[in-house]
Chain A
């Protein structure tokens, strides 16, 4: 199962109470609220959020590189300008949703790749790409 918060940090008791009278009262007591959880930041609706791995160069100019991790939120309804995961001819692919001369396009972000007008062939939306996670240091 996908558990977005794997296990709460049990070893570090961060949410302690200030009622403990023994010892020296820390001035930080009132301010410790818990650790920052990236899931909270990146995954707004866990039931609708999926992860996929990008492969290829066609979205390079949008900052999506080969091997990047993409976060997809299906609960977001696609709008003009969104980067979307779409089904093209039975395959999942990533494109930007654009409009040119009144026609919607699934556009690549790399001049070496074509834009595909929507309506030609089999096309459907899968979800909206909300974040890209790119690794800068491989060690």
Chain B
């Protein structure tokens, strides 16, 4: 039988902020999105104050003052480095690892023959905490879906002390399925939750006992797989490598509303550079690009607007200039005067590896100024993002990020490592 573990960092961003700022321990902490817009992460203390994910920062100003809540701008340099450390500790301990997101990974513990799996996971949890300072929870089950479910309960229950093991424990699985509402099952989104509830399926247990034919008819093979996984039949294997992403995007909110066309165009060009660099990093090319700009959805007494355009690229490419030309065309097409634009995004679609493209007879197979793009990427890696830019982008513009409460890059910049006072 397969054995999967899902390891998930507890309140990851808040835990990272607390690592070098011990005075934040025990205090409610919230982390704001890029540009200090919305709450994207919370410590347990902030959760119990009723602060929800996605709450705009201005709506909790009173609460912040009243409860002495620590407010942090997101510090991805720090979170990325700490994530790498956590994943390394976990990956070196287990036979096989799939990094699922910045703060979770699956481990394949099938070939790990230890006398007591629960104890082994408790030790791993302890080691991760000691080595990296980040608390984690571990759920163990015969399928990935059950491991995920076990993790959720491990995190909620004080008694389980961070590790919950479903292996060889059908009674426990049964209880857990009854306690888990259908919307909390891995892979069941909001749309399916509503539909399933309309049909009388409220818990994971209801879903696991639904007839195969019915599930297949309603939800197709994807839904059926989830049902089987809830019954303990593994349908999803551990992906050794994360599957190539099908879309990549670069979206940001501006520091203030911008009315000027030139300024927005600058921002959009910069976002295109970032999106294209991301694409090159994964060794892929894009077949289509979408641009959107929108006004502040929360602003009162100003006209609201959201416009977007999509175009296919002449041939799949990852070249900044080719993509920027297409984006500029879209921009000219969708631009409207008179609005205070607050947000823009560049999405790249139809991604593929360059060798998967069948060139047409008339196509010149693209080696898209590779050396130029490589040089640009190299300079930016070495000297910081934005050191080398396309000719038409400007620096220090009004649209750049607002990050009033960002902590130092404690682990990635020599000038910002923690200072320790010897009292």
Contact = CB atoms under 8 A, between A and B. Distances in A.
Given A46-B88, A87-B22, A90-B22, A54 B418 contact: no
Interface string B401-418: 000000000111010011
Contacts of A54: 420, 422
B422 A92 contact: no
A86 to B, nearest CB: 10
A56 B423 contact: yes
Given A1-B81, A45-B131, A48-B85, A91 B422 contact: no
A42 interface: no
Contacts of A56: 421-423
Contacts of B22: 87, 90-92, 124, 126
B419 A52 contact: yes
B419 A94 contact: no
Contact of B420 (A2, A48, A74, A94): A94
A47 interface: yes
A53 interface: yes
Contacts of B127: 75
Contacts of B356: none
A92 B133 CA distance: 14
Contacts of A126: 22, 133
Interface string A29-69: 00000000000000001111011111111110000100001
A74 B88 contact: no
Interface string B119-140: 0000000010011110000000
Contacts of A45: 131
A53 B417 contact: yes
B130 A74 contact: yes
A17 B85 CA distance: 35
Nearest to A60: B422
A52 B418 contact: yes
Contacts of B333: none
A118 interface: no
A85 B20 CA distance: 11
Contacts of B417: 51-53, 69
Given A45-B131, A92-B22, A55 B412 contact: no
Interface string B66-102: 0000000000010011001110110010000000000
B23 interface: yes
Contact of A58 (B410, B411, B419, B422): B422
A36 B84 CA distance: 25
Q: Size class of A's contact patch? A: 20 to 34
A44 to B, nearest CB: 12
A99 B419 CA distance: 27
A47 B89 contact: yes
Contacts of B132: 47-48, 74
B61 to A, nearest CB: 25
Contacts of B23: 90-91
Interface in B264-283: none
A49 B403 CA distance: 28
Contacts of B20: 92
B166 to A, nearest CB: 28
A53 B418 contact: yes
A130 interface: no
Contacts of A93: 420-423
Interface string A1-32: 11000000000000000000000000000000
Nearest to B77: A1
A9 to B, nearest CB: 15
A113 B423 contact: yes
A92 B81 contact: no
B422 A1 contact: no
Contacts of B81: 1-2
A2 to B, nearest CB: 5
B131 A2 contact: no
A48 B84 CA distance: 11
17 contacts: A1-B412, A2-B81, A45-B131, A46-B85, A47-B132, A48-B89, A48-B130, A48-B131, A51-B414, A52-B417, A52-B418, A56-B423, A64-B422, A91-B23, A91-B423, A108-B423, A113-B422
Given A1-B77, A90-B22, 12 more contacts: A2-B84, A45-B131, A46-B85, A47-B92, A48-B132, A52-B420, A53-B417, A55-B421, A90-B23, A91-B23, A91-B421, A92-B420
Interface of A: 1-2, 45-48, 50-59, 64, 69-70, 74-75, 77, 85, 87-88, 90-94, 108, 113, 124, 126
Interface of B: 20, 22-23, 25, 77, 80-81, 84-86, 88-89, 92, 127, 130-133, 410-412, 414, 417-423
